Amino acid sequence: MKDFPKLMTSSILLYRDCGRDSVLGMIKAWPGIIAPFIYILALSLFQNLFSFVLHGFVGGLIFGLVNTLIAANYYCLVLHAINKEKVVLNELWGETIAIFPSVLNVLFALWIVTLLGGGLLNNAFAVAAVNLVLFVVLNPLPELTYLKGGGFIQAAEESYYLIRDNALEWFLPFSVFFGPLFFRSSFTEFTYIVSQINLIDFWRVYLGIILGVLRNSGDLFYGLGLPVALLLTHFMMVFRGNLFLRLSTSSRRKRIHQLNA
């Protein structure tokens, strides 16, 4: 491909702009940085206080709704960072409720797909393979959910087209960051990680991977690295949002042409 050097140059400039805007937005909407830590504490407290009802179908339904509410709340904070807006706490609940139906719709559809996949493919490797395909094709699903709204079918279709046209630009920065972590894993560990991926809760995936590396480095690194892990996790989520907006509103040819102009 003769334009490959220009493609890489335009991509680097794209990442530079996304990174700059992400840092500025995170400073403006700073509560999003500590939000994942608060969510983890809140979920742990919720599980301990209400463990007597979190069993069976009803318990799973309640816990699923709580998780959906947390996801919607977090994506509101990410949206504030993308827009470089201050977070007004007394308005955050209304914003969360506004995108809650879209997040619930997508999560429910993913749950059905996972349920069918687990039932039809009663094999850990097969489930991981299906999850890996969904992970690639539907990777921008969170951004489509909180930035555009709508149902699962529409979001899945748009996600497919974005990945088809911009796979290199979308996956390259995340591969560079997380690729070495996966290569350090054994095949069994890699299969388990992929089988556990939740497409709508990427912040948990990122935070879990980073904390796992810190934990393997020793208790000292784990304790000192928690603030860094929270910072990196939120940065990756805001970066994804900024990258999605740029890729969905321009074409590869247009970006290369702008480079030549």
Q: What is the DSSP string of 32-98?
A: HHHHHHHHHHHHHHHHHHSTTT--HHHHHHHHHHHHHHHHHHHHHHHHHHHTT----HHHHHHHHHH
Say how far apart CA 121 and CA 52 lie, in whole Å: 32
**pTM for this one?**
0.88
Q: Does residue 84 come out as left (phi exceeding 0), alpha (psi in the -120 to 50 range) or beta?
A: left
Least confidently predicted of 21-25, 62-66, 198-202, 204-208: 198-202
Residue 258's pLDDT is 80
DSSP type of residue 125? H
Res. 101 pLDDT band, cuts 50 70 90: very high
Res. 17 pLDDT band, cuts 50 70 90: very high
Is the pLDDT assigned to residue 202 strictly greater than 80?
no
In terms of residues, how long is the chain?
A: 261
Residue 117's pLDDT is 64
Say how far apart CA 116 and CA 227 lie, in whole Å: 38
**Count of domains in the chain?**
1
| pLDDT tens digits along 137-156 | 889 999 999 998 878 889 89
Which of 211, 233, 234 shows the shortest CA–CA distance to 223?
Answer: 211
Residue 157's pLDDT is 92
CA distances from 6 to 169, 171, 188, 206 (A): 12, 18, 39, 30
Domain that holds residue 100: 4-260
Residue 190's pLDDT is 58
For residue 232 the two structure tokens come to 């990196």
